[in-house]
Amino acid sequence: MAIAINKGLSLAHDIYEDRGRRVRELRKAGRKTIGYICLYPPVEIITALGMVPFRIFGNMSEPITLADQVSTTVVCPFLRSIIDLGMKGKFDFLDGVVGAHTCDIGAGIIIQWRDYVKDTPFTHLIDVPHTDHPPAVEYFAGQLNSFKRHLEEHAGQKLTDDKLKKAVELHNTQRRLVRQLYDLRKPDPPLLTSAENLEVMVALFSLPVEEGNDLLEDVIKQVSERSDRPGRKKARLLVWGPVFDNTSLFKLIESAGASVVVDDTCVGTRAFWADVKAPYDLQALAQRYLVDIKCPRTYRQAEPAETRRDYDKDLDSRFNYIRKAVVDWNVNGAVLQSVKYCDTHGYEVPNLRHYLDTLGIPSIYIEHDYSERSLAPIKTRVEAFVETLG
C-alpha cells in the first residue's frame, strides 16, 4: 500500500503547526539556519551563502514571562514575545539571528538577544534609514555590504556574484508564485480562505526557498482544481497592519460573514509584492528593501526634496498601492489592525482611514496585545462592522 505524501494545503498546515520541524532536520543534516526579524534583512544573502533563512515570529498562545526580566511591558508585545521565546530556548535550532532598525524597540531586540539568549553564535543588526531618497539608499547598500561581510565570516565562504544572482532568481520566483496565489482570491467567492492563505505564507517563512516554491506550486494547482471552495459572503475585506502570523483573526472575521480577499501586512503582500530588479547586486537589494517595500516605518515624499507639502498628493504617494488592491480584489471594506504600542502603525491609521474614505471604502480600526485572548472582545465590533456592509 502506497504511503500518502503530505502536499499542498495539508503540508502548509502541518508546517504552520510546527514551524521549527523542517529547519531542525536541515540543521541536523549540516545546514546552518539564520533567523531574521521583520522584513528588512535580505534573505537573498542568507540563501546565497548556503544557509536557511527562517523568519522569527512570536506565539500568541504563550504568555510572556521571561521577557519581563529584560523589557518593559509597555512596548510592542510581538517583539516581547520573540525575546521571551528566545530566552525559553524555543529557537535553539538557529545558528544566528539578524534584525533591522525598523523601530527603536526592534533594534533593541537584537541587543537583548545577544545578551540574554544563549547558544546563538551570530547576531547582526542592520541599520535601516527612515527615508527613501537616493542618499538613504546608498547608505542602506553600505549596511547590506557590512552584513554580507559579517555573514561571509560566519559561513566560512565568500558570496560570489553568481551565487547572489541565483538566490535572487529563486526568491523572485517565490514572489511571483505568491502573487499567483493571491490571484486565486480575486473571484467571488475566493478559491481559498484567508486562514488557508496565511498558513501557506507562514510555511514559506519556515522553509528553504526551493522547498517553499515547490509548496506554492502544489497549493496553486490544488486550489485551482478544488471542488470544496469557500462560499460567497456579503463583504470582501482588506486587512491592513503589522505582523499577524496567527489565523485566529482571519477566522474571526470570516465567521462574522466576510471574506478577507487581500491584505497589506508584513506576513502577506508587503513581504512579497516587490521583486529585486536587475542587476542583482547589493544596490538592487537596497532599492527593493528600502524603497519598494511599503511599510509605515519609512517616510516617503510625494516629490524628492519638496519643501511644501500637498496633503492629498502626499496621501496618494503613500497609499496608491492600496487603491490598486481595492480595485483588483473588489474590496468593499477594510479592517485596520495593530498591536498595542506600535506607534509606527498607530500614527498611520488616521491618514489611511481618510484615504480609504476618499475611495468610498468603510473601515474599522482594532487593536490587540498579540494574544489570542485579546481577540474575543473584538468579535462583536467586527460583526457590527460587517453588518453595515450588507
What is the chain's pLDDT, residue by residue, as a tens digit (390 residues)?
Answer: 333 467 899 999 999 999 999 999 999 999 999 999 999 999 999 999 999 999 999 999 999 999 999 999 999 999 999 999 999 999 999 999 999 999 999 999 999 999 999 889 999 999 999 999 999 999 999 999 999 999 999 999 999 999 999 999 999 999 999 999 999 999 999 999 999 999 999 999 999 999 999 999 999 999 999 988 888 898 999 999 999 999 999 999 999 999 999 999 999 999 999 999 999 999 999 999 999 999 999 988 777 666 677 888 889 989 999 999 999 999 999 999 999 999 999 999 999 999 999 999 999 999 999 999 999 889 999 999 999 997
Q: Indicate the pTM of the whole model.
A: 0.95
Q: What is the pLDDT of residues 217-260, one digit of tens each?
A: 999 999 999 988 888 898 999 999 999 999 999 999 999 999 99
Torsion of CA 277, 281, 286, 292, to 10 degrees: 10
Q: Return the DSSP state at 292.
A: I
Question: Which residues make beta-bridge pairs with 122?
Answer: 96
Taken in order of first residue, the domains within the chain and their CATH numbers are 30-156 (3.40.50.11890)
Three-state DSSP at 200 gives helix
Q: How far apart are CA 335 and CA 131, in angstroms?
A: 27
Q: Which of 175, 347, 352, 207 is closest to 272 using CA atoms?
A: 175
Q: Return the DSSP state at 287.
A: I
Q: How far apart are CA 191 and CA 186, in angstroms?
A: 8
Instruction: For cell 532536520, name the residue.
Output: 25
φ, ψ dihedrals at 293, nearest 5°: -75, 125
What nine digits make up the cell of 107?
533594534
Q: What is the pLDDT of residues 173-199, one digit of tens each?
A: 999 999 999 999 999 999 999 999 999
